[in-house]
Amino acid sequence: MSEYSVVGKPLPRVDGLKKLSGQAKFTVDIVLPDMLYAKILRSPHPHARILSIDTSQAEALLGVAAVITGKDTQGIRYGFVDTPSFPAEERPMAEEKVRFIGESVVAVAAVDPDTAEDALDLIEVEYDPLPAVFDPEESMKDGAPQIHGEITRTTSCAWEDWGVARKSHSYTPINNVAGKVEFSYGDLNKGFAEADYIREDRFKSPATAHMAMEPHTIVASYDPLSGKLDVWLNHMAYEIKRYWLAKTLNMPNEKIRVHQTYVGGAFGGKAVIFDFEVIAAFLSRKLGRPVKLELTREEVFSTCRNSIRFDTTLKTGVKKDGTIIAQHAKVIVDAGAYKGSAAVAMYLSHAFNDSCFDRHNVLHEGVAAYTNKNFGFAKRGHGSPQMRFAFDSQIDMICEHLGLDPVEFMLKNCRKKGEVLPNGDRLDSYGLPKCIQGVADAIGWKEKRGKQKDKNRGMGIGVNGMFSGSGYWPFACSAIVRLNHNGTVTLMEGDVEFGQGPDTAYSQIVAETLGLPLEDVTLVAGDSELCPLNYSNFLSGGLFVGGGACYYAALDLRNKLLKAGSEFFKTAPEDLDMKNRAVFIKAKPQKSVPFGDLLRINIQKHLGDAMIGVGYKKAVPEIEFYPSLSKGTGRFTDAYSYAAAAAEVEVDRETGRVKVLKLAMADDCGNRINPAAVEGQMASQAVMGMGDALLEEVIDEHGRVINPTLVDYEIPRAFDVPEIILVDGCDWEPKGPYGGKEAGEVARAAVIPAIANAIHDAVGVRVFRVPITPERLLTALKNQGK
Amino acid sequence: MEITKKVLKVTVNGRPYELLVKPKTTLLQLLRNELGLTGAKQSCMDNSCGACTVIIDNMAVKACSVLAMQVNGKQITTVEGLAKDGVLTPLQDAFLRHSAFQCGFCTPGKLMSATAMLQETPNPTEEEIRRDMEGNLCRCTGYKQYIEAIMEVAQKKEVSK
């Protein structure tokens, strides 16, 4: 039983009434007086020089307010990775040439969307098509078309602005290499020499869409009188969007306000700044009027960030008893036209993997190649869904060869609680063994694994580890808790609610700390002007870092109330506690003083001290900045979360269709602040992972996305969903607020190999590429003689 | 080009309206842009996600795929019309208690589909609910908690019968 009264309870979400009544405002719902609507003309070529653009007819169309091209935004650069050695190369609109189908070429602002659309038809662009390349290995060969020339920066880069002392320098990618990582520890050759069994396998993961239900949208409103830009947009952290709007528009940060809206899903896909956001803000400033730019579903699929395409080769050496002794991972990322977060994903595919199992001797090499396609970013797990599909599938194969049980194999190779990882991170909490055992028990592993082949049924398991925030600007989060006259409080914290539940969880943390019921906490969140310095919600640092800041802010106010109470009762603060908006004497609970009275008395006694709690939390305390992506050194996170998934499937040998019968999901999020919310996250990832394993792929042919609609890009529907069993695998995290840590993105990766392995258990074939479509499975059944 | 607007008489959430609309205006555009009822959402733009679902007379319909003029003389209910006098419907209340939503973007559509289903089939089985909710995509919840919420309402109806 929990000793808490608010934390650990499945309380109704604080955003519930608004969302259930249709009152919740999303960016798509924002309409401002005198607002214009913008549309973008996009490249039909994967690679071409722009010879000329004629916008005269479009400009002459009644209702068109402005037409802009790459000439207007010449030289503006941005990107998730903008370091001194690798400056950003993304741009709001193509300049001399286009590099993928869908790249922005011309933008129009008009009185309504139809007029803007009509104007696009009147624009003439003359292209000189260039040879294009779509395969990363082809792209890195000598003589392949070069996608980028010199990449240069005319301003400081982001990491200079954020405190890195080095100056950025220009560079020219050689053979289309967009990024490289290499790190190692131990002695790989020695490890392989000690191995009794070595195998090498190659796996592929495609680009998949985040498919957030709200299409990416921005409303930008520039006021020429005050020089201020107000924006409403789909985001996962206002700090990074505001930073990049300020940087790209060359405006002071404080002249930009990101307003609170609810965000209709994100899953990593809305964190970075986008071309269309810079375009809308640019148009609004040019015109001095509000501009709305809402992307179509097709634009989201084919021009916004999807997950990153991985080609993973794993060579793993194990001893007879199942001890992993060496691993050599080679990752090729098909980056697309711009580098996006390719280097980060290649790094994370190692770092997350390293938190799960002890592999003793490791070499991890990654290379990302530019191609003439749309480019990628983080999607729920950032690099680990791709790696877990590869590694946990390979574990299954190793176990088959050695006659071992995958559950026992995994438990044997787990790291140990309290262990310090090669990069210096310490596992103060480590629930992975509990998760593995939990899902195995829940699904009936011992009884059923390998024993239902006659029914074409099988079982498989997968795992994952995930950080709880990492070293990324602004490196820390802060929160304010204000005491109100009636003893209620107002929490001010910047995280944005996109479904993951911070509004409720943070309110619970504050209520618990102050002995208040949940409804006594009023929340001000997600507004860059009303909230203090914010970290982000796209690095899985929400609960651990943002929630931690809220906890410390509430604790600060609690200590102030106890101090005021001790003066009032003339007793030590340790003798006091608080409940129901009052401080009371523990030994004599009937002796209490309301918070409101303490506030009044404190103001009278202490020169107007109004009792405000302030808290902050640094994402990774021991490091000044961030770990080296290229070398893999340096602290990375202060707490890892874990998950395991076990799947039971049935395969139809005639059609190649896979029916998922059951999914058991275990999470180690430290402690469930709101169990209903955590279970929601787990069910969510179970189903999303099912889509990854069986259905989802953004398919392109010669650089053109051929399934950019929900008719052609299938995601799981209500009827596809199997029985989902949720298991608590929590291991209390001492540095987390009430023991809590990340819960939102660890589990998706575990589901993918669990299903792939279950298919193998059912019919004895291995498909090395997700999604495992009926076509691929039938081919595998045929080729592997099953 | 001159576009002739037509007169549309419709009742939305119990309120009668007489409006001039363009022939190509969809019901979703009418609700969102003309009436300011933004609960119904536009997401897929091709009739496949259900985020724009409203009830026309007693039937759940995707408002993006219906022209405004087609609802002439009909009764429309949107998510804004569910709660009465500050009281949630049993279904809304069950969604709240079951944490049956996350980002909330597709929630209005789900509520309308499920409301219409429960009117027509008061005691559906879980399989019937899943089949009926096929048209409402959700990326956040994994469908688990909201199916449970609908089940609870369906079972309570059975008990009170």
List of E strands, A582-696: 582-585, 592-594, 612-618, 640-651, 658-668
Mark residue A444 as left, alpha or beta (left: phi above 0; alpha: psi -120 to 50; beta: remaining): left
By DSSP bridging, strand B15-21 and strand B59-62 are unpaired
Residue B72 confidence (pLDDT): 98
Residue A765 CA to residue A782 CA, distance in Å, equals 9
- Mutation target to probe the B interface, by most B beta carbons within 10 A, among A28, A114, A213, A234 is A213
Q: Where are the domains of chain B?
A: 6-81, 90-160
Q: Using pLDDT thresholds of 50, 70 and 90, give the confidence band for residue B161.
A: very low
Helix, strand, coil distribution of chain B in percent, nearest 5:
40, 20, 40
Nearest by Cα to A69 from A370, A312, A286: A286
Residue A17 at interface with chain B, using a CB cutoff of 8 Å: yes
Query: Residue B101 and residue A20: Cβ atoms within 8 Å?
Result: yes
Shortest Cα distance, chain B CAs vs residue A446, angstroms: 26
Q: Which three-class secondary structure state does DSSP give residue A265?
A: coil
Rounded to the nearest 10 degrees, the angle between the axes of helix A406-413 and helix A432-443 is 170
Rounded to the nearest 10 degrees, the angle between the axes of helix A675-694 and helix B144-160 is 120
* Partner residues linked to A457 by β-bridges: A650
Shortest Cα distance, chain B CAs vs residue A396, angstroms: 27
- Class of domain A16-24+476-618 (CATH, top level): alpha beta
Residue A545 CA to residue A617 CA, distance in Å, equals 6
What amino acid positions of A are annotated as catalytic residues? Answer: 745
Residue A642 CA to residue A779 CA, distance in Å, equals 34
Nearest by Cα to A71 from A87, A54, A57, A58: A54
- The secondary structure of A608-625 as a DSSP string is T---EEEEEEESSTT-SS
Residue A489 CA to residue A482 CA, distance in Å, equals 5
Mean pLDDT of B73-83: 98
Contact residues on chain B for A23, CB-CB shorter than 8 A: 39, 80
The residues of chain A scoring below 50 in pLDDT are 1
Shortest Cα distance, chain A CAs vs residue B64, angstroms: 14
Residue A783 confidence (pLDDT): 95
Residue B160 confidence (pLDDT): 46
CB-based contacts of A254: which residues, under 8 Å, 6+ apart? none
Contact A297, A715 (CB under 8 A): no
Q: What is the gyration radius of the CA atoms in chain A, in angstroms?
A: 27
Rounded to the nearest 10 degrees, the angle between the axes of helix B144-160 and helix B107-120 is 30
Cα angle, residue A179 at apex, residues A174 and A180 outer, rounded to 5°? 100
Query: Residue A28 and residue B41: Cβ atoms within 8 Å?
Result: yes
Nearest to B96 among A20, A26, A211 (CB): A20
Sheet order of strands, A489-493 included:
A521-525, A489-493, A476-483, A612-618
- Mutation target to probe the B interface, by most B beta carbons within 10 A, among A15, A21, A678 is A21
Fold of A31-132+212-266+270-303: Aldehyde Oxidoreductase; domain 3 (3.90.1170)
Round to the nearest angstrom and report the end-to-end CA distance of chain A: 51
Cα B80 to its chain centre, rounded Å, is: 9
Query: Residue A709 and residue B136: Cβ atoms within 8 Å?
Result: no
- Class of domain A389-469+638-783 (CATH, top level): alpha beta
Residue B158 confidence (pLDDT): 55
Mean pLDDT of B76-104: 97
Q: How many CB atoms lie within 10 A of CB A706?
A: 12
Residue B102 CA to residue A456 CA, distance in Å, equals 36
Count of CB contacts below 8 A, A vs B? 175
Sheet order of strands, A592-594 included:
A576-579, A582-585, A592-594
Residue B14 CA to residue A8 CA, distance in Å, equals 42
Contact A534, A260 (CB under 8 A): no
pLDDT in tens, A655-711: 999 999 999 999 999 999 999 999 999 999 999 999 999 999 999 999 999 999 999
- Mutation target to probe the B interface, by most B beta carbons within 10 A, among A20, A307, A710 is A20
| DSSP 8-class letter at A575 | G
Name the average pLDDT for chain B. 94
> What's the token pair of residue A756?
């792939």
Nearest to B142 among A22, A501, A724 (CB): A724
Q: Which residues of A230-253 are buried (b: 16+ CB within 10 A; e: fewer)?
A: bbbbbbbbbbbbbbbbbbbbebee
Mark residue A540 as left, alpha or beta (left: phi above 0; alpha: psi -120 to 50; beta: remaining): left
> What's the token pair of residue A274?
């986008």
Q: What is the gyration radius of the CA atoms in chain B, in angstroms?
A: 16
* B43 to A277, A381, A506, B135: CA distances (angstroms): 19, 24, 29, 13
Nearest to A212 among B108, B139, B143 (CB): B139
CATH 3.10.20.30 is the classification of domain B6-81: yes
Cα A100 to its chain centre, rounded Å, is: 24
Q: Where are the domains of chain A?
A: 16-24+476-618, 31-132+212-266+270-303, 389-469+638-783
Contact A606, A425 (CB under 8 A): no
The CATH H-level (homologous superfamily) assignment of domain B90-160 is [2Fe-2S]-binding domain (1.10.150.120)
Q: Is B22's pLDDT higher than 90?
A: yes
Query: Residue A499 and residue B144: Cβ atoms within 8 Å?
Result: no
Q: How many CB atoms lie within 10 A of CB A51?
A: 11
Contact A340, A671 (CB under 8 A): no
Nearest to A718 among B38, B111, B130 (CB): B130
Q: Is B159's pLDDT higher than 60?
A: no
- The secondary structure of B50-62 as a DSSP string is -TTEEEETTEEEE
